[in-house]
Amino acid sequence: ISFTGSTAVGRRVAEAVARNVSVPCLLLPHGAPGLVQPAGGMDGALGLSRLLVLGGSDADAQLGVDTAAWLIGSLQLGATQLTVLHVEDGTRSSSPSYPRVPKNVTLTQELRHGSLEHAVEQAIAERDPQLLVMVSHGHDQLRDVIWSSHTERVLQVARRPLLWVPASFDALSRG
């Protein structure tokens, strides 16, 4: 688990750690809502019933859904709403299906237009997810090194816990 600080330096350190591991990394922005239910009448259980998977390509969306399903199963969560957010960039040619979703998961897909960051902000305002799941390829262009990757920019605007999933992660082999 990697915690982000309230400063750009703290955030950059957490992002650097996440970029250099081969397993998903939980990033918790400073001031973000927690994942544990408050003690007032609750038992301190995880409060995860709404997840938002940010799908880039169909393969990234599939890995995000597989990783979310792995997390839901590993944590033995109850009924969970899983939304896959696709942001239209003019390259989508298919309507993916996700056959490996557990029975206790209700999956919906949503298509938005515009910038990824704006679409994420809108989806958060409307769906109030407790966790974002996003596949990251790290820095794949010089622009990413200078201005940050999509995942880093989403983390900056989302102010929600984000499960950073390396593109090389194989959720299916984790059981």
Could you give the strand order of the β-sheet that contains 80-88, starting from the edge strand earlier in sequence? 2-3, 25-28, 162-166, 131-136, 50-55, 80-88, 105-113
pLDDT at 4: 47
Q: What is the dihedral of CA 6, 8, 13, 16, to 10 degrees?
A: 130
Q: Could you report the per-residue pLDDT of 85-97, keeping only the tens digit for each?
A: 988 766 655 667 7
Tokens coding 111: 């298509």
Q: What is the CA radius of gyration of the chain?
A: 16
Give percent above pLDDT 90 in the chain.
25
| 3-state DSSP assignment of residue 73 | helix
Residue (of 160, 156, 148, 158) closest to 19 by Cα position: 148
Contacts of 19 (CB under 8 A, 6+ apart): 136, 138, 139
Mean pLDDT of 24-35: 82
Q: Could you report the per-residue pLDDT of 148-161, keeping only the tens digit for each?
A: 566 677 777 778 89
pLDDT at 149: 63
Cα 10 to Cα 17: distance, rounded to the nearest angstrom: 11
Does the pLDDT of residue 107 top 90, yes or no? yes
- Distance, CA of 126 to chain centre: 16
Mean pLDDT of 119-125: 92
pLDDT at 143: 46
Q: Which of residues 91 and 100 earns the better pLDDT score?
A: 100
- Phi, psi angles (nearest 5°) of residue 23: -125, 160
Residue (of 90, 73, 135, 82) closest to 107 by Cα position: 82
pLDDT at 90: 61
The answer to whether the beta carbons of residues 12 and 6 sit under 8 Å apart is no
pLDDT at 81: 96
